[in-house]
Amino acid sequence: MIVVMEPESTQAQVDAAVKKVGELGLRANVIVGTERTVIAVVGEEREHAKEVLEVCEGVATVMPILAPYKMASREVRPEPTTVSCGSFAAGGSQIGVIAGPCSVESEEQIIASARAVKAAGATALRGGAFKPRTSPYSFQGLKETGLKMLAAAREETGLAIVTEVVSTEDVELVAKYSDVLQVGARNMQNYRLLEAVGGVDRPVLLKRGPSATMDEFLLAAEYILNGGNQRVMLCERGIRTFEAHTRFTLPLASVPYLHRKTHLPVIVDPSHGTGHTYLVTDMAAASVAAGADGLIIEVHPDPQNAASDGYQSLDFAAFALLMEKCRKVACALDRKLGCDPS
């Protein structure tokens, strides 16, 4: 941590800051520059130390040097983690493919979806039973009934089930029926929920909040890891920027950035990341080329009649083409995408 003093700071202020560093159990090195004095602080840094030093008189700013997360860090675990669950694996040479409708609408719909995405090579089925919706007047999901339909689809196809949990009260219920718990973008900083899924024996797919920095994203993962659950997958699903021609801006440089900073696998969601069907396939291929460990794609038997997110859902034929394109890219880069299509 580097403590930068104001140009007009006094010697007494420097001394006081150095004293404070000592009280925090850290060591101070004072460097007098031509225009400013800085104090280099040595020792295991804590978030709290930064906050304390930042408000000392005469201090202009405090620049942290170490990452604020630990268990998620590549410095702690240099080898990449592969998260597996039945037929699904993400990490290493495997690119996991999660596909299915935004919402579970009926048993027919979800089973048809499961069969189609499996046939095209997907290794997990997505489908929302508890839906967080921007408007209180929108369809909120079938809840436990939907979970049962998902379980039926697994029964039928063997696909791992990925579904969202929106509240601590539902964690147990959702874990009962599903294989992977998804924490949605709106809940990325719902710390109680992160703690709850941190205590469950299920992999977690953690979606990035649309205005979360990378440190905030990794600290959210840290909550889960800290709770004892090591099977965390990070999902880039787009950020909010001034761009209005896409619903969100999908910043694929997140993939190689995260691979450098963390051992956790990185999944990309080009459906939410673009918000338009016609952009999904190209961005899925780009995600694979960028090094993604997985894809999550919205697929619906009949997007024109979907209960939600039809504008960004692919039909079965379009999904098969997406898989074909992505498989070519994966193959060219020596990775394996999903399972072999039937």
Q: Which is nearer to a copy of itself, 49 or 180 (CB)?
A: 49
- Phi then psi dihedrals of residue 216, to 5 deg: -65, -40
For residue 229, the minimal CB distance to a copy of itself (Å) is 13
Binder to a copy of itself among 34, 79, 201, 342 (CB under 8 A)?
A: 34
Under the binding rule (CB under 8 A), the answer on residue 22 touching a copy of itself is: no
283: tokens are 């961005």
- Which residues neighbour 244 within 8 Å (Cβ) at sequence distance 6 or greater? none
Q: Which is nearer to a copy of itself, 114 or 188 (CB)?
A: 188
Query: 47: exposed, middle or buried (C-beta count within 10 Å: 0-12, 13-18, 19+)?
Result: exposed
Binder to a copy of itself among 169, 172, 228, 317 (CB under 8 A)?
A: 169
Binder to a copy of itself among 115, 143, 186, 336 (CB under 8 A)?
A: 186
- The C-alpha angle with vertex 139 and arms to 123 and 318, in degrees rounded to 5, equals 40
Is the separation of the CB atoms in 127 and 107 below 8 Å? no
For residue 17, the minimal CB distance to a copy of itself (Å) is 10
For residue 84, the minimal CB distance to a copy of itself (Å) is 24
Q: Give me the 89-108 binding string for a copy of itself, x by CB under 8 A, dash otherwise.
A: --------------------
Integer Cα distance of 192 and 174 in angstroms: 16
Strands 124-126 and 232-236, bridge-based pairing: unpaired
For residue 267, the minimal CB distance to a copy of itself (Å) is 15
Distances (CA, A) of 56 to 25, 30, 33, 41, 43: 16, 15, 19, 14, 19
Q: Which is nearer to a copy of itself, 159 or 175 (CB)?
A: 175
Piece in contact with a copy of itself (CB under 8 A), picked from 92-100, 118-126, 155-163, 237-245: 237-245
For residue 209, the minimal CB distance to a copy of itself (Å) is 8
Q: Give me the 42-81 binding string for a copy of itself, x by CB under 8 A, dash otherwise.
A: xxx-xxx--xx-xxxx-----x-xx-xx-----x------
For residue 339, the minimal CB distance to a copy of itself (Å) is 19
Under the binding rule (CB under 8 A), the answer on residue 317 touching a copy of itself is: no
Q: Which is nearer to a copy of itself, 40 or 112 (CB)?
A: 40
Q: Which is nearer to a copy of itself, 157 or 312 (CB)?
A: 312
Collapsed DSSP state (helix, strand, coil) of residue 201: coil
Q: Which is nearer to a copy of itself, 106 or 305 (CB)?
A: 305
Under the binding rule (CB under 8 A), the answer on residue 86 touching a copy of itself is: no
CA atoms within 13 A on the CB side of 285: 17
Residues in the interface with a copy of itself (CB under 8 A) total: 105
Is the separation of the CB atoms in 270 and 241 below 8 Å? no
Under the binding rule (CB under 8 A), the answer on residue 191 touching a copy of itself is: yes
Integer Cα distance of 151 and 158 in angstroms: 10
Buried b / exposed e over 66-84, threshold 16 CB at 10 Å, is ebbbebbbbeeeeeebbbb
Integer Cα distance of 8 and 222 in angstroms: 39
Binder to a copy of itself among 93, 108, 145, 240 (CB under 8 A)?
A: 240
Residues within window 106-165 making contact with a copy of itself, judged by CB under 8 A? 132-139
Q: SS3 letters for 207-244? A: ECCCCCCHHHHHHHHHHHHHCCCCCEEEEECCECCCCC
Residues within window 277-306 making contact with a copy of itself, judged by CB under 8 A? 277-279, 282-283, 285-291, 303-306
Is the separation of the CB atoms in 45 and 51 below 8 Å? no
Under the binding rule (CB under 8 A), the answer on residue 222 touching a copy of itself is: yes
Is the separation of the CB atoms in 85 and 203 below 8 Å? yes
